[in-house]
Structure 1
Amino acid sequence: MGTQSVCHLSGHDGGGLAEFAVTKERLTVSRPAEVSAAEAAALPIAGLTAHQALTQQAGIKLDGTGQQRNILITAASGGVGHYAVQLAKLRNAHVTATCGARNIDFVKSLAADEVLDYKTPEGAALKSPSGKKYDAVIHCAEDIPWSTFEPNLSAHGKVLVLAPGPGAMMTFAVKKLTFSKKQLLPVFLSAKGENLDYLVKLAKEGKLKTVIDSKHSLSKAEDAWAKSIDGHATGKIIVEP
């Protein structure tokens, strides 16, 4: 990433673990001085994924209009999750979030309305403490079966899976073939420069914050990968030159 720009780097082209990288101009936006290089580096994949899931698939209006939506965000303390909570709250959604016990206060600080410890019976069942049914679930965690989601969804509720495995794809196909009103949908990022510009402007205005779990030098990138694979990072993990 250049020192004065923010860009989306495709994993198909090698990603960004290098001192220099090439990306498409349409996926590059200017980085304002108010946004640090580390904060900017964290935004593209995680921020864009949260933005796309909420706006294109969960029905959240960017201008804050429309009916309030009830949103569940799993693994809300992670990279995508902590952006999703903030963006949903900016757009008048009621947010229920799950995370580990040590991150409950952190997720509450992001303005989530209800926070569940995923290891408790209530958290494992994904039940909203206020009894609300979810219009959409931004599913950032793993290994939660459809049978757990289904009773917690509204009549036309959607589960948006960010890391769909074979089981999720099978459920997606079955729900489509049976014309189910409740759907499970895989999320595949389709990056757009204007959406990245929108997120950078929010960050500049202090309306969207990047929480950095840890920073690692490029020579120690394997430590960053290990921490990421462990699955317990709070916010984003940054690799620096």
Structure 2
Amino acid sequence: MFLPLSASLASSPVAMAGNRTMHAVQYDTYGGGPAGLKHVDVPVPSPKKDEVLLKLEATSLNPIDWKMQTGMLRLLLRHKFPYIPGEVIGVGSEVKDFKAGDKVVAFLTPHTGGGLAEFAVAKESLTVRRPPEVSAAEGAGLPVAGLTAHQALTQSAGIKLDGSGKETNILITAASGGVGHYAVQLAKLGNTHVTATCGARNIEFVKSLGADEVLDYKTPDGAALKSPSGRKYDAVIHCASAMPWSTFEPNLSSNGKVIDITPGPRALLTFALGKLTFSKKQLVPLLLIAKKENLDFLIELVKEGKLKTVIDSKHPLSKAEEAWAKSIDGHATGKIIVEP
């Protein structure tokens, strides 16, 4: 959801939208994986009065993109076919806070999508300025992965990123991935001790992000989520695939909670049972609520060098299927970027 405003649109971006076509990648049915993606030419979208028109410079993929394609989230996130997924950095149209030539970061909702294309539209209320210190590729991961990590830590886990408050023991699973690598860095801005899990090849990488101790998830202790220092976790930011509650529960402090960023049916059932039994240990499903001020905060951290986007790989829009397949594979280190 990051894009620079293009001076080429300065004359009349809205008028241009109705007269030009653009290259885009879309799917028109559930299923199919990378083979289900289609390269098409479609009209440049026209922004509504509260939207900005974006010119794509870089976009990043998130698991929600291909999960929506499988139909996994069809009850929660209904959308019409054909669907163009993704997050975007782009160019703004004539709205009060932006002008052609501005550099911006914008959030595209899963309901509308539009990121795997040359142009997209986004709500002005979810669009912020991008300083020159933040590149398009660096910023592309923030609107979904960065905001998810921020919300999980600050709202769900109650971590204060100014370092105040008592020390909190945090576990971050899949810490080398898109959300995980942001979560480690953000957590260390607070008064936290961070335990992290990842694959063996990424242990030193996750340590470099600031994690205090790192577990190989394929080892017995890693699979059991046991802290090497014997700590109990006040909060778990769970970025990996589904795990049974019985794996988490013995590792939690008396009031510990598990924040599940991709909750499935079993997680939702565990959440409901915890509420019904008034358990002090809780599983908390997370649904991202994007806020402009939080996106601004993350961009400022990147500008100041306090947060970084690690780029796993870059792919041209013409080969978006490769990026899609890599995301489905689930072993990316940091963010997968698509560029026109």
TM-score (ref. length: structure 1): 0.98
Inter-partner Cα distance in structure 1 for 2:106 and 2:113? 14
Inter-partner Cα distance in structure 1 for 2:167 and 2:182? 19
3-state SS in 2 of match to 1:115: strand
Residue number in structure 1 paired with 2:278: 179
3-state SS in 1 of match to 2:299: helix
Q: Structure 2: which amino acid aligns with 1:164?
A: P
Q: CA RMSD in A?
A: 0.8
Picking from 112, 115, 126, the partner of 2:214 is: 115
Alignment of 1:193 with 2:193, yes or no, is no
Alignment of 1:76 with 2:77, yes or no, is no
| Larger relative contact order (Cα-Cα within 8 Å, sequence gap ≥ 6) | 1
Q: Structure 2: which amino acid aligns with 1:97?
A: A
Report deviation, 1:222.
1.1
Superposed CA offset, 1:148-168 (max 9, x none): 000000011000001111111
Superposed CA offset, 1:15-69 (max 9, x none): 4111111111111111111110011111110000000000001010132211111
Residue number in structure 2 paired with 1:129: 228
Inter-partner Cα distance in structure 1 for 2:228 and 2:283? 23
Aligned pair count? 241
In structure 2, runs of 5+ residues without a counterpart are: 5-102
In structure 1, runs of 5+ residues without a counterpart are: none
3-state SS in 1 of match to 2:111: helix
Structure 1 runs of 4+ with >3 Å offset: none
Larger Rg: 2
Picking from 100, 118, 141, the partner of 1:42 is: 141
Inter-partner Cα distance in structure 1 for 2:335 and 2:209? 15
Inter-partner Cα distance in structure 2 for 1:168 and 1:70? 22
Residue number in structure 1 paired with 2:35: none
Residue number in structure 1 paired with 2:252: 153
Alignment of 1:7 with 2:8, yes or no, is no
Inter-partner Cα distance in structure 1 for 2:333 and 2:299? 21
Q: Structure 2: which amino acid aligns with 1:171?
A: T
Inter-partner Cα distance in structure 1 for 2:264 and 2:138? 30
Superposed CA offset, 1:88-111 (max 9, x none): 001121100000000000000001
Alignment of 1:95 with 2:194, yes or no, is yes
Structure with greater helix share of residues: 1
Alignment of 1:62-73 (within 5 A): 62-73=161-172
Percent identity over the alignment is 78
TM-score (ref. length: structure 2): 0.70
Alignment of 1:236 with 2:296, yes or no, is no
Inter-partner Cα distance in structure 1 for 2:320 and 2:313? 12
Superposed CA offset, 1:55-86 (max 9, x none): 00101013221111100000000000000000
Q: Structure 2: which amino acid aligns with 1:110?
A: L
Residue number in structure 2 paired with 1:166: 265
Picking from 109, 118, 122, the partner of 1:19 is: 118
Deviates more, 1:36-45 or 1:76-85: 36-45
